[in-house]
Chain A
Amino acid sequence: MTGFTELTGKAAPLDQANIDTDQIIPKQFLTGVTRAGYGVHLFHDWRYLDLYEQELNPEFELNKPKHQGAKILLSRENFGCGSSREHAPWALADFGFACVIATSFADIFYGNCINNQFLPIALPSKKMDELFAHVANDPDISFHVDLKNQTLNVGDSTYKFDIAEHHKQNMLKGLDAIGQTLEFDSSISAFEEQRLAWL
């Protein structure tokens, strides 16, 4: 998997808290057996007026012409809560996003993002207010994410963000976590030797 180092692009706003993974990608689209093709169904209930995805909802932020081509999604508290479905980051990435910036994230969703080299950035509520204001003033304003330096530049403003060092390294290098763990094969075997007998 290729790594994530820098990203430049527009941001689209979804200014609400508790956006759950059912909302990101509803259940009826989870019957696939591959990781591809979920983007068209992203935010289905909000994005389309009909069940068959023929008619776009013009009121929905992501459908507005000014937000077309956005690579970054802005949201609020507890983004990605609920179901563990990894289809959520797959759908966001397939749609064209590479990063979500929100006030906070649910644990499983956050881990799923890291495992897909899809960058979740958490910023305090006040900073999120500023980001939403930037986009409201100028939908075309350029966001620049530099993962190595953990900075986000928006217009003339610079924001620092936190990310655990091991998550950062995994993102930067595009590490294959399984390949990494398989290097500990002998440790795993040694652990298995001393597991409790009834297990």
Chain B
Amino acid sequence: MAQTLYDKVWNAHIVEQLGEDTLLYIDRHLIHEVTSPQAFAGLNEKDRKVRRPDLTFGTMDHSISTRSLALDACGPQNKLQLQTLAVNCEQHNIQLYPVGHKNQGIVHVIGPQLGLIQPGMTVVCGDSHTATHGAFGALAFGIGTSQVEHVLATQTLQQSKGKSMKVEVAGKLPTGVTAKDIILAIIGEIGHAGATGYVIEYCGEAIRDLSMEQRMTICNMSIEAGAKAGLIAPDQKTIDYLNGKEFSPTGKHWDDAVNYWQSLTTDVDATFDTVVTLQAKEIQPQITWGTNPGQVIGVNQAIPSPDDFDDPIEKESAKKALKYMGLEAGQTWDKVNVSHVFIGSCTNSRIEDLRAAAKIAATGKVKSNVTAIVVPGSVAVKEQAEQEALDVIFKEAGFEWRLPGCSMCLGMNDDILQAGDRCASTSNRNFEGRQGRGSRTHLVSPEMAVAAALTGNFADSRQFGE
């Protein structure tokens, strides 16, 4: 029977069928300080061991400072949590990349960059943005802490198979429109909960044309449409990306792996439960106007009115969102001023993001009433950027250049906004209070974030540079 990529990866990991659930083997388990301490405590209480420490990798990212390498820089609670991760990894013989290590960074940035994520793998992490790794044709999804404990103890998970959704982005993407705009447009199309219960496979010319890092941006936000996971079939770009990475296979294993990876595509006659098609040429630079990522429009569109929505739930959500965001129906983006700009997060903190942002930053200066920070996704990204002198461009333009971490995406450290602050953010969630109580988040691409920093309000990034 014809199979989707999702079917193929799923079927290759079935240990046992348990009635409605499947016991699924997990190839890679990534852990961090926030969602793992209770899992290790659970193991220790029952005197259980970590079954495969060799398949488990840890890093510190969520609650660390981006100004200092000191673990106590964000207070004693954060320090205790970070130390707990270090102790747990030490006790259970798990490789940890702590603050200060050359491999440290945001868990979803370092995994791919080290070659830890490969096509056909099952990948989990106690973080909903684990879907990022689907860019490699891996089945990657976020899990809760009880499941982290389950994977540590058994290297498996009891899972129900999701439904399948094909999202095709047809045709060529217009110049100056980015991967972030594609995924925001997709979420805008299918809705914040539109893919609940589904695993998405992204395909089409515009997706194929994307680099690996851009594909990561796409898959990263699958959860913002409610999806369990998002996948992109591996191709030559995937293979080239993995070639020579620290944990990539070598020698004969490399050849065998490449052969296998090339088989990981959806069969031509396979069917999906749902199919959604977008035309790439219709996608504009996107900005979220509301308090969930599905509340998004193009830079040239005016802020909608609740009356524009027929669905009573959407209407009510829009009314509440406009009030929280301090926006008026009909307002144009050039009239919306920002106080902060954040470039970073597991969505948009990779080297290509920083290059694209720097290109626009080089054309101007951050407005004096705007605070703008750039937080590279990992130590390796930071070093690469510094080699290319991108940090100099950012600093000269008036951006702060920080240490790697999750930072203002969720503000578990001191990178938080105050009530009423308005931020153009390259992160993934614009929920009420996400970046600080009462703060207002607008999700955008790195290019659009820089454009907002330089003008002090939202502006079309395509009018900058070159």
Residue among B15, B62, B155 with the highest chain A CB neighbour number at 10 A: B15
Q: Is B121 an interface residue (CB 8 A)?
A: yes
On whether the beta carbons of A107 and B228 are closer than 8 Å, the reply is: yes
On whether the beta carbons of B35 and A84 are closer than 8 Å, the reply is: yes
A17's partner among B15, B19, B313, B434 (CB-CB below 8 A) is B313
B437's partner among A16, A20, A51 (CB-CB below 8 A) is A51
Complex interface bits, B225-237 against A, C-beta within 8 A gives 1, otherwise 0: 0101000000000
Number of A-B contacts (CB under 8 A): 181
What distance in Å separates the Cβ of B92 from its nearest Cβ neighbour in chain A? Answer: 15
Q: Is the interface of A mostly helix, strand, loop or mixed?
A: loop
A17 vs B433: C-alpha distance when bound (angstroms):
16
What distance in Å separates the Cβ of A110 from its nearest Cβ neighbour in chain B? Answer: 9
On whether the beta carbons of A115 and B146 are closer than 8 Å, the reply is: yes
What distance in Å separates the Cβ of A127 from its nearest Cβ neighbour in chain B? Answer: 15
What distance in Å separates the Cβ of A45 from its nearest Cβ neighbour in chain B? Answer: 5
Q: Is B197 an interface residue (CB 8 A)?
A: yes
Interface stretch, picked from B97-105, B252-260, B298-306, is: B252-260
Contact residues, B160-208 vs A (CB, 8 A): 160, 162, 192-193, 196-197
What distance in Å separates the Cβ of B125 from its nearest Cβ neighbour in chain A? Answer: 9
Interface stretch, picked from A66-74, A92-100, A133-141, A182-190, is: A182-190
A46 vs B323: C-alpha distance when bound (angstroms):
15
Tell whether A27 pairs with B410 under 8 Å between CB atoms, given A45-B432, A82-B429.
Answer: yes
A18 vs B316: C-alpha distance when bound (angstroms):
11
On whether the beta carbons of B21 and A33 are closer than 8 Å, the reply is: no
Q: Is A57 an interface residue (CB 8 A)?
A: no
Interface stretch, picked from B77-85, B265-273, B333-341, B381-389, is: B77-85
On whether the beta carbons of B126 and A166 are closer than 8 Å, the reply is: no
On whether the beta carbons of A30 and B412 are closer than 8 Å, the reply is: yes
Interface residues of B (CB under 8 A from A): 15-16, 18-21, 23, 25, 27, 34-35, 37-38, 41, 46, 48, 51, 62-63, 75, 77-78, 80-81, 84, 118, 121, 126-128, 142-147, 149-150, 153-156, 158, 160, 162, 192-193, 196-197, 223, 226, 228, 249, 253-254, 256-257, 260, 292, 313, 316-317, 320, 410-412, 429, 431-434, 437-438
Rank and list the top 7 A-B pairs by shortest CB-CB distance, nearest first. Answer: A198-B249, A112-B144, A115-B146, A33-B37, A86-B144, A198-B253, A31-B77
